[in-house]
Structure 1
Amino acid sequence: MPGWLYILLVVIGIYALISILVFYLQDYFLFRAEKLPSDFEFYYENQTTKEYNIETRDGAILNGLHFQIENPKGVVLYLKGNSKSIKGWGKFAVDFTRNGYDVVMMDYRGFGKSSGRRTQKALKRDVQLVYNKLKEHVDEKHIIVYGRSLGSGLATKLASINHPRMLILDAPYYSLTKVAGQYAPFMPLSWLMKYPLPTYKWLKYVRCPIHIIHGTDDKLIPYKTSVRLSKIQPKITTLHTVLGGGHKNLNNFESYHKMLSNILNERSEPIILESTSYKVKHNSKRKNAKD
């Protein structure tokens, strides 16, 4: 066998091996789940919460929290990012309850107390199921869908096939395939990605007002991503820029809280930072819930 052919076969073999590893290990890299015991009790200071469990048609259990206030204007369905569980994400509910909205959060399959085999199809069905449950109690004109990072794609899918009051995207991606491409530009990711989550495709079919919030110093999902997304439906989309904001620290910026209050109330209102998640660390080890 000629030397060049041997080298070529080795290179092809290595490339094939890496492709196989990317396909089978992407769940580990995309979903940094935190599991919680079934008897774990959620607790948040100055917040009234109700835990819920929904069984899916394939037997999975979706666990979540409903943050409740008196006489809410509506409800925010908050689809979180790819790390931890709602144990930690729950501390951000205050940014919506202080503005007069109930908040519903859920853990994706494999996160927190939620169970079930995770696929893109299953994730889309799950968020629709939770949305359907909300519609049993709240008119769609009072439902706001909020997607944070990983949740932005699922939030966009929901808004594209339903009629919520508005869609808010926090640090959204163009597609997960594009995000992965930053780290493996030489791989055929369009074939390998099990969770492409093409936000840009679904955004074309959204008919409600769209608000996009993004920090200019986001190193994981560049700010230019939101600029591109904002041009898909410019007539109904507003891009809100947090100068200096990164991927996990937007709540540390007063401008973010002003933007969010203005979006939710559809008018400019003064804010009291002490009543928000201002300066609360995303991965804080502070005791936010009972262990």
Structure 2
Amino acid sequence: MAYWVSTILTILGIYIAISIALYYLQDYMLFKPEKLPKDFQFHYENQETKEYNLETRDGAVINGLRFFPKGESKGVVLYLKGNSKSIKGWGKFAVDFTRHGYNVLMVDYRGFGKSTGKRSQKAIKRDLQLVYNKIKEQTTEDRIILYGRSLGSGFATKLASMNNPKKLILDAPYYSLTKVTARYAPFMPLSLLIKYPLPTYKWLKYVKCPIHIIHGTHDKLIPYKSSVKLAQINPDLTKLYTVIGGGHKNLNNFESYHEMLDEILNSESKTIDLETTSINVIHSSKKTKKRA
């Protein structure tokens, strides 16, 4: 056998082996869960909480926490977290919403925290719709805000596209998870291999509520430009908030982030009478001739 044929077959074999490994190991690469014992007790200083367990139709259990505001509630924020740890650690961010008068519901995806069940994109979407339906039994949709952080941004967008929440807030969202992984494996057939493509850009076009996107300019994991592209998909409903110098995991350390949340949570959208603005003013670069 010619040397070049042997070399090509060897390279092809390695390529196929890497593809197979990526397919079967992607769950371990994508998800970084923290598992908690069933008797684990959640505790947060100065936060009133209640724990929930929701059984799904395939027998899985989705564990969640509800955080209560002090005083009368303005509504519910369904907070969909990132790909690591559990709501044990993510619960500290609930204060950013309870301080504004909102209940916060956080849930752990399958295999995270106390939640059980075999994980898949379809199963997680189904679980979150079940959670959303349970919230609707307690309040009306015009009081529900969806907040998706990193991995959760795709699932939040999917939920918003199939329902009618008051607002959708995306924190460091990705255009699609396939696009994110392609940065690290540019020569692999990821469209065929990825079990969690999470095409946020496809779902975003069907969202009918106001969309608020928050992203840091120094995000090394999910580039800021992904939010710029997402903001152009449904521009009439979308507002992009830029945290100058913000990374992927530290937006909550920026005062500007909290100012943005305050604006999003407490301000209602206003219709502008464009006829009273300069939108139709035509600027001409032509020089006009002086009259004699």
Scaled by the length of structure 2, the TM-score of the pair is 0.91
In the alignment, does 2:212 pair up with 1:216? no
| CA-CA distance at 1:217 after TM superposition | 0.2
Are residue 46 (structure 1) and residue 46 (structure 2) matched? yes
Name 1:75's counterpart in structure 2. Answer: 76
Q: Equivalents in 1 of 2:57, 2:173: separation in Å?
A: 29
Which residue number corresponds to residue 159 of structure 1? 160
What residue number does 1:263 align with?
Answer: 264
Q: How far off its partner does 1:118 sit? A: 0.3
Match of residue 8 from structure 2: 8
Q: TM-score, normalised by structure 1?
A: 0.91
Residue 109 of structure 1: how far off its partner (Å): 0.2
Cα shift readout 1:212-264 (whole Å, capped 9, x = no counterpart): 00000000000000000000011110000000000000000000000001100
What does residue 225 of structure 1 align with?
226
Cα deviation, residue 99, structure 1: 0.6
Deviation at 1:125, TM superposition (A): 0.2
Spell out, residue by residue over 1:16-59, the C-alpha distance to the aligned partner (whole angstroms, 9 max, x if none). Answer: 00000000000011100000000000000000000000000000
Aligned to 1:26: 26
| Matched AA of 1:34 | E
Pairing 1:55-134 to 2, within 5 Å after superposition: 55-69=55-69, 70-134=71-135
> Aligned letter for 1:108?
Y
SS at match of 1:179: helix
1-structure distance, mates of 2:12, 2:32: 31
In the TM superposition, what is the alpha-carbon distance from 1:68 to its structure 2 partner? 1.2
Stretches (4+) displaced over 2 A? none
CA–CA distance in 1 between the matches of 2:204 and 2:161?
Answer: 7
What is the alpha-carbon distance in structure 1 between the residues aligned to residue 215 and residue 157 of structure 2?
A: 16
Whole-angstrom distance in 1 between the partners of 2:39 and 2:180:
36
Query: Residue in 2 aligned with 1:198?
Result: 199
SS in 2 for 1:110: coil
Asked which structure has the greater RCO (Cα within 8 Å, sep 6+), the reply is 1
The aligned amino acid for 2:193 is: L
Q: Distance in 2 between matches of 1:12 and 1:138?
A: 56
2:20 aligned counterpart, secondary structure:
helix
Give aligned-pair identity as a percent: 73
Runs of 5+ consecutive residues of structure 1 not aligned to the other structure: 268-291
2:83 and 2:61 map into 1 onto residues whose CA distance is 18
Q: CA deviation at 1:71?
A: 1.5
Question: In angstroms, what is the RMSD of aligned CA positions?
Answer: 0.6
The residue identity in structure 1 corresponding to 2:45 is E
Question: Larger radius of gyration, structure 1 or 2?
Answer: 2
Structure 2, gaps ≥5 residues long: 269-292
